[in-house]
Structures are given as structure tokens and as C-alpha cells.
Structure 1
Amino acid sequence: MTVRQIENLVALLEYFAERQKPATLADIVRQFDWPRSSAFNILTTLIEAGYLYEPRARGGYYPTQRWLQLGQALAEGEPVPEALRNIIRNLAATTGETAWISAPSSLFAVFLDVVEATAAVRYAAAPGQRVPIHITASGQALLSKMPPQDRDVLLRKVSFGHWGPKAPQSIAEVQAALTEGSARGWFHSAAAYSPDLGGVSVPVVIGERIFSLTVAGPLYRVAEMAETHATAIHDAIATEFGRDHSTATLTGLEPPARA
């Protein structure tokens, strides 16, 4: 269940981010087809709270730096480890595909940071994007490191049957994928979430936090590269954290021999 007012606020912020210039009340009403009074109330509330201002008199409204300060403060409180950012930058450069960092968020894996491939045809992703935790490589890598009781509770809440053609169709199939991925040392999805996309993912445990690192792209490019990309992820983890990190932190998962 979603809250309409919050949805409207997020849509407004994304609109400003894409527009990159001030917008008048009329612009906003026209963009979203909101009642003029509702749009006015949203703008007035944000202005009074210090999150919008008028760069020029009657020239429209634009977000203030307060959003940036808020985001920086939040990021400082629970930062994404810089070593993981280094890894996805290097993976994107060496594999030519999109790479990202994920973390668990209820029934989803949420992308914390993304480096997109430069190819015209690529896996398009952005920070904040969510994918189902039970059918994607990113999500299954995260599930594999959750306490069994927590994982079982979560899997009883997921839904099946309306994703890609190769998506698991039952809890038993998800559990089988987790067992196979743990034995293999990496997790794989192909046409599970989207018919034409696939990727590989490896979990990373840092302290009490669980992440996954993923390389993904169009199936016609990545289908035959799954093991190569998985090995590249393990090698990158070893470079940043030491060759024994995965062995010490990923109980029940065996990294490939090269890592």
C-alpha cells in the first residue's frame, strides 16, 4: 500500500532532477495533471520548510541545497563502503557491463550504487531501483547470507508467477537455486526478472551488513560470460578486502579456485 502524498513528493523531486531548471505552478499542474490547489499546497509546504525557493521573482520554483545537505547527512550515517564502490567501477570497466551494489529491503534487493555500461544496449539501472529478492541473482546472493529463520519468513511472503519466463515458481525452486549458487560460489539469473537480461552476483558480508555485487547485461552478451564475470567479482573482492575475506565471511559458499 502506497501513500499518495509521498508518491507525489518523490515524483516532483524526480521531475526537477530531470528538468534541471525552475518550474512554475502552471508547469507542475500541466506535468502531473494535479488539481491546482493540491499542487499549490505541496509547493507552499516545501517552501515553508526550506526545500524550495524562487531563484527569480515569479520565475518558478527550484529545490534548495537543503536536499543535498539532507542526503549527505543520511549517507554519512550509513555509508556504502568505498571499497565496494571501487569494485563496481572496476567491474564495469573490465567487463563492459553494468555493475551495482545491492542490499536487502524487505521483499526486494535495492540498488545502492550503480555504474552503467557505456554500450548503447545495456542493463539500465539507477540507485534506488528495486528488484524482487527471490528471483534475481542480486537478491538470491543476499538471501543466501540471511539467517535461515529470517529467510524462511521472507520467502513465505513473496509472490510467484508474473516475472520473467525463467523465474522460480515456488519456494522449493528458490531454495534449490540458493543451494546451487552457494555450492558454485556465485548466483545466476537469466530471463528471470526480464526476458532479455541476465547477470551474476556474489554476496559480501562486512561486519553485520550484507551486500551483493552484480554484473549484468543483455543475455546475448552475458549468457556465455557468467563464470568469467563471477570470477571477476571474486577477484575484485579479494583485491579490495584480502584473499581470505570471502572464505572467512561467507560460510557455506565456496569461491571459485582462481579467487
Structure 2
Amino acid sequence: MTSQKTGTYRLEGETPAQRLLALLEVIADKDQFFTLQSMVDETGMPKPTLHRMLQQLESSGMLQREADGRHYGKGGRFRRLAEKMLLNDTVHGARHAVLSQLVDEVGESCNITALSGSEVLYLDRVETSEALRFFLHPGSRVPVHCSASGKLFLAQMPPAQRRRLLGEISLKSFTDKTLTNLDTLEAEISDVRQQGYAFDNEEFLPGLLCIAALAPDPNGGRSNLGIAIQAPIMRFSKDKALECLPALQRAANAIAAIDRDAMVLSAAQENKSAKSGGK
């Protein structure tokens, strides 16, 4: 991964392969040719190290040297990788269609989330057309204890696992409504487990209310996929959120069906491959 910091990119990663992928992220963000020196200036990496990384990418076809011999551009293999990903990522496309339909139905911004460590990660998001809205984006992260989806993920955990996770993180207060007491949070999670849905009532951002439900796991286990509706409290009360709950649950079930079909297809392909290999 890369993070932009004071005008430069820091190539993060514990291994050379991870740093090489981080460099590809920087390059993917460019709409023009670049030189070795410009990348040194942007990343702060030692010139010999960066030169070796660019050579590796060039020899693999991910980059190509331009006619002047100094500038680099994206190679054919890099472009084909992007094209194939967009062409074949039908699961994401189908999920996004469900999310867009939910936004059309309820009129508010909606997102798909997953648990990542002690945070809730936004996998996808569709914004409302309303002028007053909270702008978040795919890739955003929210602490698990002050997220509607996070409470649902926590509610699925065995008590010991949940206590261990919550005991290792800081239950930071983001607003005066953030639940920062472990016993209070446990009581809220108990209610969430019984209800099957959860609220974020201005616990992460002042003025923002959220209701979330889980997409059932296709195999009947714990789900790591949530879907949520978010809106400013001036037009989205808890009562109104509960009116949207049936639509939210239909969307969650539709996403679960998409994932189930994708897993069935994957299993069929694996069986076919295994049979072919056994001949």
C-alpha cells in the first residue's frame, strides 16, 4: 500500500514484493510518463533500489521504456491486467448494482463493509444525490466499536474473542455519544445480537446516523460482509431508519445470493480442474 504524505509517496511493505506492489500503485495513479529521478523525488527511495525495481517491472512487461530511453510508461501487461480485472470482476459489479438499487429505493448513501483487524473497511459505496451528505469512499476505515457494521461483526464473536479484541484497542471517543465503556458496549452488542441489525447513532461523526445488517454467510457461518445506510440526522431518525430496514435486509440477502452463486461456480470449476488433472 502507499500513503501520500507531504507531497510524496511512502512505499509501505515488509518485503521487496510488497514494496514492488506499492510502487505499482503509485504508477497506476499516474496519467503521464515518468523518469527514474521523478520517482526518487516522489518516493524518497534510494536511487539504486528504485532503479532495480523499475528494471524488474520493465522486464516483466508491466512497464515499458519510451523512445528517449529515460521515460517510463505503463506496459502492455499492466494494461491487460487492469482490463481483465474490470472485465471479470462480475461479483463486485453485481454487488454494486444491488447497492445502487438500495440507494435509489431509500434515497440515502449506502456502503458494503468488512471487518479488517480492529476496523471496519468500506469495500464499496454509492452516494445519495442529496446536497447534504457525508462524503466517505471505498477504502475508508472506521474503528469497530463506533460502527454499526462493526457492532454486528463483534456480536458474532465468542465472548472471549470479542473481549480480547476490545481489550487490545483503545475505545476512543469520537463524539459525546461514542461508547467507550466496555460493559456499556457489551450491553449494546447483546441487543444487536437479538435484533439482527445495529445503529451508529452519531458515535463516529456528529450528525451522522447509520443502520446496518449482515449479508448472511453462504455456508451458514459467521459473515464478514455488512451493508449499511447512512444519512444526516436532520432527515434520518432511528424510526425512519427502521422503516428502511426491510429494504436493507433484502439487499443483504441479494448480496449473499451473489456470493453463494460465485462460490458454487468456483467449486464447480475446481472439481472440473481436479478431474482433468486426474486423467
Give TM-score scaled by structure 2 length. 0.67
Larger radius of gyration between Structure 1 and Structure 2: 2
Could you tell me whether the CA contact under 8 Å between 2:215 and 2:253 is conserved in 1?
Answer: no
What does residue 111 of structure 1 align with?
Answer: 122
> Per the alignment, do residues 239 and 41 of structure 1 end up closer, same or farther by CA in structure 2, a change over 3 Å counting?
closer
Counterpart of 1:137 (choices 126, 142, 148) is 148
Deviations 1:173-212 (A, max 9, x none): 2212212333444211133223343311012222235121
> Per the alignment, do residues 75 and 187 of structure 1 end up closer, same or farther by CA in structure 2, a change over 3 Å counting?
same
What does residue 73 of structure 2 align with?
Answer: 61
User: How many residues are treated as equivalent by the alignment?
Assistant: 238
Cα distance between partner residues in 2 of 1:47 and 1:11: 16
What does residue 251 of structure 2 align with?
Answer: 236
Structure 1 residue runs of 5 or longer lacking an equivalent are: 243-259
What does residue 216 of structure 1 align with?
Answer: 230
Deviations 1:36-88 (A, max 9, x none): 44443443343344433336554433361365389679969xx6694x44431
Cα distance between partner residues in 2 of 1:179 and 1:153: 17
Could you tell me whether the CA contact under 8 Å between 1:98 and 1:124 is conserved in 2?
Answer: no
Give TM-score scaled by structure 1 length. 0.72
Could you tell me whether the CA contact under 8 Å between 1:21 and 1:62 is conserved in 2?
Answer: no
3-state SS of 2:210 partner: strand
Cα distance between partner residues in 1 of 2:74 and 2:126: 28
What does residue 254 of structure 1 align with?
Answer: none
The answer to whether structure 1 residue 22 and structure 2 residue 45 are counterparts is: no
Correspondence 1:1-259 to 2 at 5 A: 5-6=12-13, 12-54=23-65, 57=68, 58-62=70-74, 64-65=78-79, 67-68=81-82, 82=94, 84-206=95-217, 207=219, 208=221, 210=223, 211-223=225-237, 225-237=240-252
* Aligned CA-pair RMSD: 3.7
Could you tell me whether the CA contact under 8 Å between 2:110 and 2:230 is conserved in 1?
Answer: yes
Structure 2 residue runs of 5 or longer lacking an equivalent are: 3-9, 258-279
Deviation at 1:235, TM superposition (A): 3.9
Amino acid of the structure 1 residue aligned with 2:37 = A
Q: Percent identity among equivalent residues?
A: 24
What does residue 267 of structure 2 align with?
Answer: none
> Per the alignment, do residues 23 and 196 of structure 1 end up closer, same or farther by CA in structure 2, a change over 3 Å counting?
farther
Deviations 1:136-165 (A, max 9, x none): 011112222233343233222221124333
> Per the alignment, do residues 181 and 32 of structure 1 end up closer, same or farther by CA in structure 2, a change over 3 Å counting?
same
